[in-house]
């Protein structure tokens, strides 16, 4: 004699609602960092995106705003990763994909906690050049920044593989191109003179991808 176990419809609906709420966090995370970062970059006196990295906005009187951008985005990304875990398993990228997004979230929180050294005249009154020796905070901030970029780049390539298996060629191409372009901009050796602009563009790319994937997966959770 065999028996089957059924899940009550109400419990299933509640599970889907909770999953969708967690997936919405990815949309908010994709908007929060670029909105707060570029809003400050355009309004804080003395900040020049051609010379100063977005991460240096953590310095100065309004540095707490950029801490909110980093930490808030990171915590939202961790919640989004939980939603992805619930929505995608089992299946292609159903385990590693959410883990990579979770790593991105943790790294973003670390990027807000550990701040870079004042340099290149920012914040106002800081030395005009680079510091002779990097502080522990700068080193840890750099490690967290690299971890954030690389984990989400890897997630983009992994999701490209997932979408290809689902015959969603447009989404596969978008994820692959976003990952490759972000890698070229942030990981390959370029002139330091263009670093702040390149990393800003890379941040927009990965934030946009995070937002788009949030929408795509949430739409799949009926």
**DSSP-derived secondary structure letter, 93:** T
Give DSSP secondary structure letters for 107-172: HHHHHHHS-PPPBTTBSTTS-SS--SS--HHHHHHHHHHHHHHHHHHHHHHHHHHHHHHTT-HHHH
What pLDDT, on the 0 to 100 scale, is given for residue 4? Answer: 44
Token pair for 97: 């994909």
For 12, counting Cβ atoms within 10 Å of its Cβ (0-12 exposed, 13-18 middle, 19+ buried), the class is exposed
Is 148 in a helix, a strand, or coil? helix
Furthest CA-CA distance within the chain = 80
State the Cα–Cα distance between residues 13 and 155, nearest whole angstrom.
28
CB of 110 closer than 8 Å to CB of 140: yes
Question: Which residues, in sequence order, are bridge partners of residue 122?
Answer: 119
Query: Residues with Cβ < 8 Å from 112, sequence gap 6 or more?
Result: 58, 66, 67, 68, 69, 70, 71, 74
Query: pLDDT tens digits for the chain (222 residues)?
Result: 444 445 465 666 887 889 999 999 999 999 999 999 999 999 999 999 999 999 999 999 999 999 999 999 999 999 999 999 999 988 788 899 999 999 999 999 999 999 999 999 999 999 888 888 899 999 999 999 999 999 999 999 999 999 999 999 999 999 999 999 999 999 887 777 788 999 999 999 999 999 999 999 998 886
State the Cα–Cα distance between residues 192 and 197, nearest whole angstrom.
10
**DSSP-derived secondary structure letter, 167:** T
- For the chain, report the end-to-end CA distance as a whole number of angstroms: 34
Is 190 in a helix, a strand, or coil? coil
What pLDDT, on the 0 to 100 scale, is given for residue 181? Answer: 96
Segments making up each domain of the chain, as ranges = 15-220
């Amino acid at each position: 004699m065999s028996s089957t176990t059924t899940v009550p419809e109400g419990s299933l609906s509640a599970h889907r609602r909770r999953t969708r709420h967690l997936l919405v966090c990815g949309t908010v995370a994709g908007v929060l960092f670029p909105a707060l970062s570029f809003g400050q970059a355009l309004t804080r006196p003395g900040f020049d995106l051609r010379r100063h990295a977005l991460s240096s906005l953590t310095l100065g009187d309004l540095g707490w705003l950029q801490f909110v951008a980093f930490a808030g985005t990171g915590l939202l990304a961790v919640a989004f990763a939980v939603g992805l875990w619930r929505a995608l398993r089992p299946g292609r990228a159903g385990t590693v994909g959410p883990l990579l997004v979770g790593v991105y979230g943790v790294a973003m929180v670390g990027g807000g906690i550990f701040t870079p050294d004042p340099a290149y005249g920012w914040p106002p009154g800081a030395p005009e050049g680079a510091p002779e020796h990097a502080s522990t905070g700068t080193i840890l901030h750099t490690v967290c920044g690299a971890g954030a970029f690389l984990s989400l780049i890897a997630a983009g390539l992994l999701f490209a593989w997932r979408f290809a298996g689902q015959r969603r060629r447009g989404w596969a191409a978008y994820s692959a191109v976003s990952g490759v372009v972000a890698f070229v901009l942030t990981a390959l050796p370029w002139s330091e003179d263009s670093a702040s602009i390149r990393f800003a563009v890379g941040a927009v790319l990965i934030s946009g991808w995070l937002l788009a994937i949030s929408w795509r997966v949430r739409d799949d959770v009926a």
